Every structure is written in C-alpha cells, then in structure tokens.
Chains A and B, each alone.
Chain A
Amino acid sequence: MTTAARRVPARGPGLAGYRTRVPILEISDLIIRHDVATGASLPVRRDEVIAALRAAGDRRGARIVAGLPHRDGVLEAAAVDRLLVRTHTELQRLNEELRIAEQLAELLGPLLAAVARGGERPRVVDVGCGIGYAVRWLAAAGVLGDVDLSGVDFNPALVAEATRLADVEGLACRFVRGDAFALPGSATVYISVGVLHHLRGDALGAFFRAQADAGAQAYCHFDIAATRLAPVGAWMFHRARMREPLGRHDGVVSARRAHTDHDLMTAARSAPGLVPLLHRPTHHSNPFCASVRPLLGVRPQEVSALRAALGPAARHLVTDSRPMRRPW
C-alpha cells in the first residue's frame, strides 16, 4: 500500500492542534493487489480497504469502495478491472485535453537526439503506462522517427486494454506486464506520466535507481506539480470531465500528495550515473499552467548535448531545487 501523509486535527481532550499524521490514500492503489513474482491478482477484502480509508479520515473514499461489488467480502476482481479500465479511459480524455503527450514529445525528441547512440534503434519504455495513451500517441504521431515504443504496467487488465487499443489502430508499439522496480528488459529512455505521486517514501528513490540499474541513458517523468492550487484545479477539472466517482476522488488526492520539486530531485539524485533536471520547475511557472511538469535525467556527459538539442527551451532547465513549501 502506498501512502502519503497529511496532518489532521487530533481528537480527544488535551490534544492541541495537529499531532498525528495519517496517510492520504488513492482508492486505485488499494483495490488491487498483485503477486509481484507471478503477476497473479490477489484477493482484496473490501472491509480492509474501507477501514484504511476511514482511518485516514476519508469517508467519501470509504463510501465509494462500499459501493463496489464483492463476493463474501472480497472485491470482485473482474468488476474492479472494468472500473479501472473505465477510469483510465476517462483519464486519457484529461491527458488529451491538456495535451500531455505533445508536451512529452517536445522533450523526448531532443532527449533522444542527445543520448541515442548511432546505429542503435532507441527504445522508449513508459513505466506505469496504464492503457498506454502516451506510447500509442507517440506511435500514431510518428514524431520520434524510428523508435521502439513500449509500455509496462503491473496491472494486467490495463496492459490488455492498451494492447487491444494499439491493435485496433494498427500502431507499432507493445505493452507488457511488469513492475517498475524489476523492469523487464532495458530502455534508452524511460518515461512516465502521473506515476511518481503513487510512489511514497523509499519507493520514489528506488524507482529512479531501477531505471539506472536497467542501463537507461535517460528518463523523462511527468507528474502533477505540487502547488497549493493544484487540488482546487484537480477538483474542478475532474468534476467537469470525469464521471467515475473513483476517478474524481483519486484525481484530487493525487494533487494533494504530489511530490515537491525538491523531494523529486532528492530521490532522483539517488540513482547513480544520471543527473536530474527539472524543466519549468513549479516555482518558475504560472500556477495555472503548471498542471504537470517533467523531471528529466541524463548522464553527466550528456547534459550539454541535451541543452543544445533543446535549443531555447533549455533555459527552463534547472539542476538544483530548494526545499520549500508548496508555492501558490
């Protein structure tokens, strides 16, 4: 279970102000569980999820889970899979409107130009790809040229949907089930969209280290910018654009538990051999435009090649971050 912490008012006499730290939970992290080794889905008890959400003070989340179908108290895996596919399809609609894949392509092109070795076909792998929107968009647009595109996710239902959608449109990309911490195969560049905030505590650093260990030349990870306005924007946008209560709930929670620039940079620095660079860090951006911002990583000797490949956009690259509260 991945968690973030928030301060809540302590209850009971004599306890002044904010004392205890309780987790901020996304329902989608709680309602599925897989055997890491085999990928087989494991039973999830509905009461346990409800209890975890209630303990976190999240009564709305608990109500949403209470409405999910179950058999003898165990959530019905097929219904949960369908729900997650529906929610990810709605999430894709948000990514489309915010043109996330376009933003990704604008950075990925220069990144590949800077790090790809002559003669080798570059390999781009999307970690936590969901239904594979970013990879399928890149394959359909063909903007990266001759690149091997694939996606990895630990949820087999999402991988199956990504594969189905790619097949329907005849797109040259693949999707496999796999864990971000034990990556199958290798990649020139690892990418992700909206995954980092799911990784809490040590898992965040381990995510970057797994990519370094897999021999990555670079990475480019997009996630929600941690601003104080982000939860308000997320509430408004998810309310206007999503129908699934789970998606609306998790969308706001994601914004509340997004990592600060500093936390991301600190975790990314733990990956040996790759220098993290923030592009348009949160405190440099217009608060309403910073819905997501990317963290790039390259080998030290390739930083100047990346700057050259980015051209004028390189002026938005930052290598250091200050520990600071959420701006705006």
Chain B
Amino acid sequence: MSAAVAVPVVLASIALVDAALAGFRAATGRNGLIRKRAYYVVAMRRGLAGGAAVLGCLALVLGAVLATAPDPGTRYTGLTQAGISMLWVIGPFAAVVVASLVGYAVLPRRPATFLILLGLGPLTLIRPWVTVAAGLTAAWTALDLPTAVCTVVAATSVLAVEPWVHRRWYAEPA
C-alpha cells in the first residue's frame, strides 16, 4: 500500500479507536451498577459515532482544501507528509496505550494495578498534549498554510469527542 493511502487509513483508524475509548471514558463514573458491560458498549458506540462524524467533517475540509489548491497532487503529497509527521508523535503513544490496555486485560491483578498507576492513568492525562503536539509538529513541517491549518484542526477536533459524548449523554448520573 502506498503512503498516499496508508497514512490516511492508519490515522483514521487510530482516530476511531481513540473515539471509542473516549466514549468509554465519557461514560465512566456515572453509573454505579455492578454489571455494566452493555452500558459501556453503548458508550463506546456513541464515541465511535462521534469520531466518525469528526472524520466526516475533516474529509469535507480536506476535500475543499484539495479542490481549491493550484496543484491538488502536490497538496495531497504535502498532506500525506504532514500525516507522516503526525504519526511520528501519535504512533508511539498509541502503541504504548494499546500495550498497556492489553497488559491490563491479561496480566495478573498486581502487575495490572502497577500498569494503571504508571501507564493508563498518566497516558489519559497526557493524551490531549500528545494530540496537540502531533498537530503542531505536522503544522511545523507543512509545506503551506492550508496544510498546516488542516493538521491543527484535525488534531484538536479529535479531542472534542469525549466532552461532546459526555455532555450529550452522560452529564447526569445514570
């Protein structure tokens, strides 16, 4: 697969997984029941839907930016390069998050607790900073202003999913 296809596919996949996890986080601490697998599945679907909506809007923006470019081919290459810069920041972070989640699920309880305190908790805290840093890094290396603006908009709009899902469905306790 060429970079022109792989980069947007990988970025969109990360964004969708992140959105599902954002839906989960938006619903946490709002339901005191013991059995709430179904509750969380619904929350993750809502996050996913929010993420898909954000990606849809971004696709429209990117489409407009490409359509208005003097040379759409060059701009597409520029956007792909910016996406690669983003992945340099987001990729390692995403890999650590996935590894921590897998570890939490499969490890015995004590090391799993260790993972929460050292891994999952701090990772949640730094996620907005990592996302913004990815957008800014890509903007810094972008070839032109529209590409730079697109990267910053893409990075920050992903951060809107969790507060939106929370406010829309989980503002009040279940």
Q: Chain A contacts of B169 at CB under 8 A?
A: none
Q: Chain A contacts of B173 at CB under 8 A?
A: 85-86, 89
Partner of A99, one of B28, B112, B121, B124: B112
- In the complex, the answer to whether B32 meets A161 with C-beta atoms within 8 Å is yes
Query: Given A102-B109, A169-B33, A288 and B121 touching (CB < 8 A)?
Result: no
Asked if B37 is an interface residue, CB under 8 A from chain A, the answer is no
Q: Chain B contacts of A291 at CB under 8 A?
A: 113, 117
Partner of A241, one of B29, B33, B34: B29
Q: Chain B contacts of A182 at CB under 8 A?
A: none
B82 to chain A, nearest CB (A): 30
A90 to B112, CA, bound (A): 20
- In the complex, the answer to whether B114 meets A286 with C-beta atoms within 8 Å is yes
Q: Chain A contacts of B122 at CB under 8 A?
A: 236, 240
Partner of B34, one of A88, A171, A289: A171
A133 to B110, CA, bound (A): 20
Asked if A216 is an interface residue, CB under 8 A from chain B, the answer is no
- In the complex, the answer to whether B116 meets A242 with C-beta atoms within 8 Å is no
Q: How many inter-chain contacts with C-beta < 8 Å in the A-B complex?
A: 71
A239 to B128, CA, bound (A): 14
Asked if A228 is an interface residue, CB under 8 A from chain B, the answer is no
Nearest opposing residue in chain A for B28, CB measure: A93
Query: Given A86-B173, A89-B29, A161-B32, A289 and B121 touching (CB < 8 A)?
Result: no
A194 to chain B, nearest CB (A): 15
Q: Chain B contacts of A85 at CB under 8 A?
A: 173
A92 to B110, CA, bound (A): 19
Partner of B125, one of A90, A93, A240, A243: A240
Q: Chain B contacts of A245 at CB under 8 A?
A: none
Asked if A319 is an interface residue, CB under 8 A from chain B, the answer is no
Asked if B118 is an interface residue, CB under 8 A from chain A, the answer is yes
Query: Given A89-B173, A97-B116, A288-B118, A103 and B34 touching (CB < 8 A)?
Result: no
B interface: dominant SS: helix
Asked if B31 is an interface residue, CB under 8 A from chain A, the answer is yes
Q: Chain B contacts of A133 at CB under 8 A?
A: 32, 34
Partner of B33, one of A103, A165, A236, A286: A165
Asked if A237 is an interface residue, CB under 8 A from chain B, the answer is yes
A136 to B33, CA, bound (A): 9
Q: Chain A contacts of B116 at CB under 8 A?
A: 97-98, 237
Q: Of residues B31, B110, B125, which shows the largest number of chain A Cβ atoms within 10 Å of its Cβ? A: B110
Partner of A288, one of B30, B31, B109, B117: B117
Q: Chain B contacts of A97 at CB under 8 A?
A: 116, 120
A92 to B28, CA, bound (A): 10
Q: Chain A contacts of B118 at CB under 8 A?
A: 288
- In the complex, the answer to whether B33 meets A168 with C-beta atoms within 8 Å is yes
- In the complex, the answer to whether A233 meets B109 with C-beta atoms within 8 Å is no
Partner of A237, one of B34, B110, B117: B117
Partner of B32, one of A92, A99, A236, A288: A92
Q: Of residues B29, B35, B112, B116, which shows the largest number of chain A Cβ atoms within 10 Å of its Cβ? A: B29
Interface set, chain A 101-156, CB cutoff 8 A to B: 102-103, 131, 133, 136-137, 140
- In the complex, the answer to whether A233 meets B117 with C-beta atoms within 8 Å is yes
Query: Given A237-B117, A241-B121, A99 and B29 touching (CB < 8 A)?
Result: no
Q: Chain A contacts of B34 at CB under 8 A?
A: 133, 136-137, 140, 165, 169, 171
Interface set, chain A 142-188, CB cutoff 8 A to B: 161, 165, 168-169, 171
Q: Please give the residue numbers on chain A whose beta carbons come within 8 Å of chain B beta carbons, in ascending order.
A: 85-86, 88-90, 92-93, 97-99, 102-103, 131, 133, 136-137, 140, 161, 165, 168-169, 171, 233, 236-237, 239-243, 286, 288-289, 291
18 pairs of residues in contact across A and B, judged by CB atoms under 8 Å? A85-B173, A89-B30, A89-B32, A92-B32, A93-B29, A97-B116, A98-B113, A98-B116, A103-B109, A140-B34, A140-B35, A161-B32, A240-B121, A240-B124, A240-B125, A286-B110, A288-B117, A291-B113
What 5 A-B pairs are tightest by C-beta distance, nearest first? A90-B29, A93-B29, A240-B124, A140-B34, A240-B121
